[in-house]
Amino acid sequence: MKILLFKIYWDEEDIEMVNSVIRSGAYWTTGPKVEEFEKMISEYIGTKYCVTFNSGTSALQSILLAYGIKEGDEVIVPSFTFIATANAPLFVGAKPIFADIEEKTFGLDPEDVKKKITKKTKAIIPIHYGGCPCLIRELKEIAEDHNLMLIEDAAESLGAKIKDKKVGTFGDSAMFSFCQNKIITTGEGGCIVTDSKEVCEKLKLIRSHGRRENSNYFTTSEYLDYVTLGYNFRMSDIIAALGIAQLKKIDKIIEMRRKNAEYVTNKLSKIDVIITPNPPEDYFHVYQMYTIRVKEGERMRDDLMKYLAEKGIATKVYFYPVHLTQFYKREFGYKGGELPTTEELADQVLTLPMYPTLTEEEIEYIIREINAFNIKAKNR
């Protein structure tokens, strides 16, 4: 491929920060850099607490455990997401209940969410798709009206906001992922942000064997008791050091992504077979992904994907619906037709290359080739 789907934005400071932890010869697992990274994230988002994890997936599992969600409970999730959102309730024995999405932000449709609430519903986990906030204010109202936990899956949307309020501050808690294609990355990693001290303390127990860590386990001689069941879901200091260096660059990274996205939208919105991203007013989209819709649906979308691949341009379908994966069809009996908007959009979406250092020349090449495809399609 000449143009990749994403490229990580990194600099010498990333290397230096990782090297400094390695050179210290101590704290290669959890240590002071984890605490510093957590403090920086909570300050950046505007929450009281942040607890890091070794992935966004383990962070989601942990927050459901912290809220005591268990067998017999239902959690409303989108199917138009990465599978981990829907799997998280299953990890704790609860059932994921899929609600449909709306076309403005590709997030959960508040009207359909209302229809899916039962006596067993305990939480809603909306996602902010590809860097665009979902209709989170409307979902917050529903959660409050029905006394449900609202957990934002903000894996893809660090830095996105509505007016001046960042995603991650709307729900009772929120998850961010630092996997390699995200806004900032530590290779693998994730976190939960929340304003609840109680939840923060529970999360710290869950991520480290249920051990009450009044001091650093590895350096203290003190006995630290094990007070609950826990896992090893910790982030290491090497990873956190990289996170610190990455987070320092976030404003610049987001600005570069937004500038590139604006450039692409200006050009692509003239092509009539395509719908470009169009976030609602006051929504600050950070373009972790740049996803277009091919109006005619799956066949033309797949043709475009193939055509661009032949020209060396990588694209991908984010997402095929979770309820139509082999696992969910087998386990829950989904057959298709259950979530009309999800299924229609999943047939139309195509994610184009988008990253901070995408050059004007590369963007022009992508646009030229999409135009060429459009002309060919029209002449068919």
Ligand X SMILES: Cc1ncc(COP(=O)(O)O)c(C=O)c1O
Residue nearest ligand X, Cβ-based? 56
Question: Quick check: 153 binds ligand X (CB under 6 A)?
Answer: yes
CB 184 within 8 A of CB 160: no
The only residue of 52, 105, 121, 177 in contact with ligand X, by rule CB under 6 A: 177
CA gap 49, 60 in Å, rounded = 16
In the range 97-136, which residues lie near ligand X by CB under 6 A? 127
Which of these segments, 76-84, 205-213, 252-260, 368-376, binds ligand X (CB under 6 A)? Answer: 76-84
Closer to ligand X by CB, 132 or 179: give it: 179
Least CB distance from residue 127 to ligand X, whole Å? 4
Contacts of 24 (CB under 8 A, 6+ apart): none
Report helix, strand or coil for 21: helix
Residues in contact with ligand X, shown as a per-residue x/- string from 179 to 218 under the rule CB under 6 A = x----------x----------------------------
Stretch that binds ligand X, among 30-38, 82-90, 217-225, 254-262 (CB under 6 A): 82-90
- Separation of alpha carbons 249 and 268, rounded Å: 29
Ramachandran angles phi, psi of 82, nearest 5°: -75, 145
Task: Tell me: does residue 61 bind ligand X (CB under 6 A).
Answer: no
Q: Tell me which of 30, 47, 61, 85 binds ligand X, using CB under 6 A.
A: 85
Does residue 57 bind ligand X (CB under 6 A)?
yes
Contact call for residue 84 and ligand X (CB under 6 A): yes
Helix (H) or strand (E) holding 18: helix 12-24
- Max alpha carbon distance in the chain (Å)? 76
| Residues in CB range of 279: below 8 A, 6 or more apart | 104, 105, 132, 133, 285
In the DSSP assignment, the letter for residue 158 is T
Based on the shown chain and the rule CB under 6 A, indicate whether residue 152 belongs to the binding site for ligand X: no
- Count of residues touching ligand X (by CB under 6 A): 14
| DSSP secondary structure code for residue 324 in this structure | G
Q: Which residues contact 99 (CB under 8 A, 6 or more apart)?
A: 76, 77, 78, 108, 109, 112, 113, 115, 116, 339
Nearer to ligand X, 30 or 57 (CB): 57
Q: Among residues 156, 172, 237, 347, which is the contact residue for ligand X, using CB under 6 A?
A: 156
Among residues 30, 42, 61, 81, which is the contact residue for ligand X, using CB under 6 A? 81
The reply to whether 366 sits near ligand X by the rule CB under 6 A is: no
Tokens of 106: 């590709």
Least gap, CB of 374 to ligand X (angstroms): 29
| Residues forming the site for ligand X (CB under 6 A) | 55-57, 81-82, 84-85, 127, 153, 155-156, 177, 179, 190
